Amino acid sequence: MTTPLTLHPDRLFPADPATRAIAQRLYAGVATLPIISPHGHTDPAWFAGNAPFANPAELLIIPDHYLLRMLSSQGISLDALGVPTVDGSPTEQDPRAIWRLFAQNYHLFRGTPTRLWLDWVFADVFGLDVRLEAATADQYYDAIDAALKTEAFRPRALFERFGIELIATTESPLDPLDHHRAIRESGWGGRVITAYRPDPVMDPETPGFLANLERFGAVSGEDVSAFAGYLAAHRARRRHFRAAGATSTDHGHPTAFTIDLPPAEIEALYAKVRQGPVTADEAERFRGHMLVEMARMSIDDGMVMQLHPGVYRSHNPALLARFGRDKGADIPVPGEFVRALKPLLDGYGQDPRLTLILFTLDEDVYSRELAPLAGHYAALRLGPPWWFHDSPEGMRRFRERTTETAGFYNSVGFNDDTRAFLSIPARHDVARRMDCTFLAGLVAEHRLDEDEAHAVARALAYDLAKQAYKL
């Protein structure tokens, strides 16, 4: 006996009937707005080649670290889920077996945002009307696999079906951006741009950093043996990225620490970085100075900065050794911004040419640090709830803790920051519903007029992202 799968039209809306009615009206005004996805990690090769996705397991399970971490926490090995190993040793190769294992354990995701997103994908994208469980595993696999073989489920067709106006991917300075060039030259109208992620050549603690520096010099055509040439290489690559549509940079540093070192000191530090290895303090000082250099470059070329600090990457060394990075073992750590950003803000916090979007995995700093900072400095904007907090509860906490000090217009709406392409419309729908729910509460409490709430709902769903990311 199977259980029906339904998406309730009032999901995530308030239980109180009067407030729910306001949320319904607000949502009706934003539900079908185009999607702006200004920061994420989808693969540009999908849109360049427009090849069919291989199978349900490879598309929906194997690359999704949200799924991997939950299943791993219940003792399910990544080998059994078909995740490729670093050394090429074999793992499960039968996609149907991987899918059956996932279906048997789908109950583990009850109450999680992952369940919300996936049920939306199953029902809205693939038209499935029974719940995923062991008994329906093959029914799901066959339906999804058959759909993926059709033209309507190729990447470009889904891009258009989802109403995506723009999507930004994220690439290293070492990436030749060939896929972005192929997209532009194909004549297809979908707008896919890149973003400049310099961490591999800016963080001395990155594995392979010294080899990356050598490649950086080669791809940029600059001599990176001295600091001036290293900066010139960044400027050259930023120009190349802007030519591929980039309007933003992205920095995934361990902390938000910044420092503006005198010329002689940064020259000496760069010489140490070039030789390697460096101490943890030296690596932090180099990263901190380079954030200030990136701010100076952004003032010159107009690129928007994004800072995503506060993650202990690859906390599980055994998992890292066998399967590599981004397999669900990243853990949030406490954040600090007031003192950390002061050197950068002392120089450029009020410069109208700079936009720095701040993200955090430490919700304790929302009301204590981030909202007061963004509520003062013209250069600062608040990024939406990110990663572990990209959830209905996380979105509610974000609005509750930041609106009173920073308002709505010092935030940048929503971005999905995902590798999971099919979940993008589901994630934006959750964000739109939760923002409408928050706004409905303000209207019901007579703290905001409904016409103003409609204007804010549109801004959060669409306008603020376009403005902040200069799209």
What are residue 373's DSSP bridge partners? none
* DSSP state string for 60-104: HTTT-HHHHHHHHHTT--TTTTTPPPTT-------HHHHHHHHHH
Three-state DSSP class for 425? Answer: helix
Q: What is the pTM of this model?
A: 0.97
CA angle centred on 428, ends 422 and 432, rounded to 5°: 155
Ordered domains of the chain (ranges, CATH): 17-51+154-468 (3.20.20.140), 53-152 (1.10.2020.10)
CB of 21 within 8 A of CB of 449?
no
Question: What would the two tokens of residue 412 be?
Answer: 């940048």
What the block records as the tokens of 314 is 């690859």
What does the pLDDT profile of the chain (471 residues) look like in tens digits? 789 999 999 999 999 999 999 999 999 999 999 999 999 999 999 999 999 999 999 999 999 999 999 999 999 999 999 999 999 999 999 999 999 999 999 999 999 999 999 999 999 999 999 999 999 999 999 999 999 999 999 999 999 999 999 999 999 999 999 999 999 999 999 999 999 999 999 999 999 999 999 999 999 999 999 999 999 999 999 999 999 999 999 999 999 999 999 999 999 999 999 998 999 999 999 999 999 999 999 999 999 999 999 999 999 999 999 999 999 999 999 999 999 999 999 999 999 999 999 999 999 999 999 999 999 999 999 999 999 999 999 999 999 999 999 999 999 999 999 999 999 999 999 999 999 999 999 999 999 999 999 999 999 999 999 999 999
How far is residue 154's CA from residue 51's CA, in Å, rounded to a whole number? 6
Q: What pLDDT does 1 receive?
A: 78
pLDDT score, position 226? 97
